Structure 1
Amino acid sequence: MHSLPQRLATLNARFVQKPLLAAVRSPAILRRLFTLNAIIHMRTPAGLTTVPIQLGTRNCTLCDAGQAQNHGTLLYIHGGAFVMGNLRGYRHLVAAIGKSAGMRAVFLNYRMAPEHPFPAALDDAEATWRALSDDPDCGPLTLAGDSAGGNIALALLQRIIAKGLTLPAAVAVMSPITDLRMNNPSLTANRRSDPLVSTRWGARGVAAYLAGADPAQPDASPILGNFTGAPPVLIHADTTEVLFDDARLMADHLRAQGVDVTLHTQTGLPHVWHMGVGRTPEADASVAEIGQFLASHTLPGTKRQYT
C-alpha cells in the first residue's frame, strides 16, 4: 500500500489535475496552471540555489541543493506535453536528482510548442549538449528527462550517437513518451486507470509539437531510432499509465540493440510521481534510485555496482 502522502497526491492528480488538463486547450492557460500548482504543491528544498547560465543558444539554470561533491554534470530536460513546464515547477526535482547523484544539475529552458514546434526543442537540447561537452569543467555528463522531456532526451541520445558527439555516461527517463504515432495499446487500455494523464490531453500536446511533421521519424519517435553503442539507460514508469507501453516497448527496443537497460515499474502512481520528491516517500525513493544509477556510472570503479 502506498503512503498516505502519496495517496493524497494521487487523489489530487485524479480528481483535480487530470480533469483540468483534459479540459483546458490553451497552452498559455496550461502554463499558468502549471506554475500555480508548483507554488501550491512543489516544496523548494532548503538551501537550494539557482544560477542562470548560457549554454549554446539557450538560457539554462544551474540548480544546486547543496551537493557536497562534483561527480559530473546532469542535463535535465523537463516534461509538460511539449507545451508547458518551467524552472519554478521543476527546480526541486532537478536539484534533488543532482544532490542524490552528487552532480551539478542543469535545467534546460527549451523552446516549447506550439510557438516553436518540432524539432526546435530537440535542436535546443543538442546545442546545449554540445556546449556542455566543450566545457572541460563539466566532468562526466549524464542525461535525464521526464514525459515529453524523456522523448527529447532519448531523441537527443540517438543524435549524439549518430553525430559522434560526447556520449553521456548514463541516461535516466521517467514516464517517457517514445512513440508519437500514438498507437500503443496502453493509450486505450489505461485511459481510466491513469491517475493523471488523459489520452486526449497527450494527443493535443503531440499535435502541437509535431505541427504536421511525420511522427514516424526517429527524432520524433525515438522508439524507431538506432541506439547501438548507447550508454546504460534507466526507465521508470507506472503500469497504470497511458504511456506505459511507450516505456515498456522502448526498453525492449534498447535491449534488442544491445543497450544495458533497466525498466523499473510501479503500480498505481501518477505519471512522473517523482515530482512529489520531498513530499512522498515513493518519490523520494525513486529519485534516490535515479541518483544512485547516475552516480554508479560516473564514479571511478563503481560502474557495475548498480542493481
Structure 2
Amino acid sequence: MHSFSQRFATLIARLVQKPLLALVRSPAIMRRLFTLNAIIGVRTPKGLTLTPLRLGGRTCTLCNMGQRHDHGTLLYIHGGAFVIGNLRGYRHLVAALGQRAGMRAVFLNYRRAPEHPFPAALDDAEAAWRALVADPDTGPLSLAGDSAGGNIALALLHRIIAKGLPLPAAVAVLSPVTDLRLLNESLAANRRHDPLVSTRWGARGVAAYLNGADPEQPEASPILGDFTGAPPVLIHADTTEVLFDDARLMADRLRCQGVDVTLACQTGLPHVWHMSVGRTPEADASVAEVADFLAAHATKAPALDSRPPTL
C-alpha cells in the first residue's frame, strides 16, 4: 500500500496532468503549464543555491545544498518528451540527488524540440561532458537522466564509448525512453494503467525531436546500441507505465553485452515518481537508492584523464 501523499500525487497525475498532456498540443503552452505546476507543487529546498555555469558553450546550473563533493560531479539530463522541462521544475530533484550522493550536481539546460530537433540535445550533452572531463575540479563523473533525459543520457553514453571519451563512474536512468521506433508492447498494454503519460503526448514529442530523422540509429534509440565496456547502470521503472518495456528491454540489452545493470521496478507509481522527492516517502526512498548507487561507484572510480582526446 502506497502512502497517502503518494496516492494523492498519483491521483493528481491521472485526473489533471495526463489529460492536459493528451490535449494540449502547443509546446509553448505546455512549457508554461510545466512551470506553473512547478511553482504550485514544488517547494524549493531550504539552503539551495543555484550557480549558473557555461560548459562547452552550453547553459548549465550547479544545484547545491551545501554538501561536500567527496564523490565528484553528477551531470543530470532532464525529461519532458524532448519538448518541455526546465530548472524550475527539476532543481529540487537534482539538488536532492547531489546532496545524498555527496556530489556537485549539474543541471543541463539543453536545447529542446521542436525548435532544436535531434541531435541538438545530444550534442549539448556531449559538449557539457567534454567540458566537465577537462575540468580538474570535476572528480569522479557520473551521469543521470529521466524519461527523455534518460534517452539522451544513454545516447551520450553510447557516444562516449564510440568516441573513446572518459567514461562515467556509473549511470542512472529513471523511466527512460530507449526506443523511438515506438513499437514496444507496453505502449498499448499499459495505456490505461499509466497514471501520467499519454501515448499521444509521447508520440508528438518523439516526432518533434526526430523531425524526420531515422529512429533506427543508436543515438536516437539507445536500445539498438553497443554498450560493451560501459560502467554500471541503474534503471528505475514502474511496471504500469507505458515505457516499462523501454526500461525492461534496455536492461536485457545491456546485460547481454556484459554490462553490470540493475533494473529496479515499482508498481502503481507515476512515470518518474522521483519528481515528488520531499513530498512522498516513495520518491524519497527511490532518490536515496539512486544517489547511493552513484556514490558507491564513484568511490571506486579511477581519476579522470583531464585531457579529452582530439577527434
TM range (shorter): over 0.9
The alpha-carbon deviation at position 70 of structure 1 amounts to 2.9
Q: Secondary structure at the match of 2:201?
A: helix
The alpha-carbon deviation at position 245 of structure 1 amounts to 0.1
User: Is 1:2 paired with 2:2?
Assistant: yes
Q: What's 1:134 paired with?
A: 134
The alpha-carbon deviation at position 66 of structure 1 amounts to 2.1
Q: CA-atom RMSD, angstroms?
A: 0.8
Q: Alignment length, in residue pairs?
A: 301
Q: What's 2:118 paired with?
A: 118
Letter in 1 for 2:210: L
User: Is 1:236 paired with 2:232?
Assistant: no
How high is the TM-score relative to the length of structure 2? 0.96
Q: Secondary structure at the match of 1:142?
A: strand
Q: What's 2:306 paired with?
A: none
Q: Secondary structure at the match of 2:36?
A: helix
After superposition, the C-alpha distances for 1:162-188 in whole angstroms (9 at most, x for unaligned) are: 000010000000000000000000000
Question: Unpaired runs of 5+ in structure 2?
Answer: 302-311
Q: What's 2:104 paired with?
A: 104
Q: What's 2:181 paired with?
A: 181
Q: What's 1:190 paired with?
A: 190
Q: Secondary structure at the match of 1:217?
A: coil
The alpha-carbon deviation at position 43 of structure 1 amounts to 1.7
Residue correspondence of structure 1 range 196-211 to structure 2 within 5 A:
196-211=196-211
After superposition, the C-alpha distances for 1:27-49 in whole angstroms (9 at most, x for unaligned) are: 00000000000001112111000
Q: What's 1:213 paired with?
A: 213
CA distance in 1, matches of 2:80, 2:66: 27
Q: What's 1:255 paired with?
A: 255
The alpha-carbon deviation at position 300 of structure 1 amounts to 4.6
After superposition, the C-alpha distances for 1:76-98 in whole angstroms (9 at most, x for unaligned) are: 00000000000000000000001
Q: What's 2:307 paired with?
A: none
CA distance in 2, matches of 1:30, 1:114: 13
| Maintained 8 Å contact 1:43/1:279 | no
| Maintained 8 Å contact 1:240/1:269 | yes
How high is the TM-score relative to the length of structure 1? 0.97
Give the stretch that moved more between structures: 73-82 or 59-68: 59-68
CA distance in 2, matches of 1:70, 1:89: 26
Residue correspondence of structure 1 range 21-170 to structure 2 within 5 A:
21-170=21-170
Q: What's 2:304 paired with?
A: none
CA distance in 2, matches of 1:197, 1:167: 32
After superposition, the C-alpha distances for 1:7-43 in whole angstroms (9 at most, x for unaligned) are: 0000000000000000000000000000000001112
Letter in 1 for 2:144: A
The alpha-carbon deviation at position 198 of structure 1 amounts to 1.1
| Maintained 8 Å contact 1:76/1:143 | yes
Letter in 2 for 1:150: G
CA distance in 2, matches of 1:115, 1:23: 20
Question: Unpaired runs of 5+ in structure 1?
Answer: 302-307
